[in-house]
Amino acid sequence: MSNKISIKVIVAGRTYPLTVIQGEEEKVYKAADDINKSIKMLQENYAVKDMQDLLAMTALQLATKSPRNTTVAAPGNTDGEANEKLAEVGKKLDELLRQIEQGA
């Protein structure tokens, strides 16, 4: 039986109580910190004010940077092709953020 502990993390100004396996709390705190830093960076660099938009864009950015996703590819594709596609997604996200900023 694993030891579980209760922790609280703050994401986008809201506190969330979580139950995690003891020893993994630092990983959860680090993930919350990465999310908050990404939101702050988006707020500083783009005129996006809506927290839902910021969270969605943060989720997309973090998902495209995730090491897990760099090896996900369609059958027959190489890792290089997957990385190229991820780079394209990143460019499209930047373009969308600029459009949101211009529309705000």
- For the chain, what are the domain ranges? 4-103
CB contact at 8 A, 100 and 53: yes
CB contact at 8 A, 36 and 11: yes
| pLDDT number for residue 64 | 87
With pLDDT > 70 as the criterion, what percentage of the chain qualifies?
A: 84
Give the separation between CA 66 and CA 56, rounded to whole angstroms: 15
Beta strands in the chain (DSSP E): 4-11, 14-21
Residue 4 has pLDDT above 80, yes or no: yes
Residue 35 has pLDDT above 50, yes or no: yes
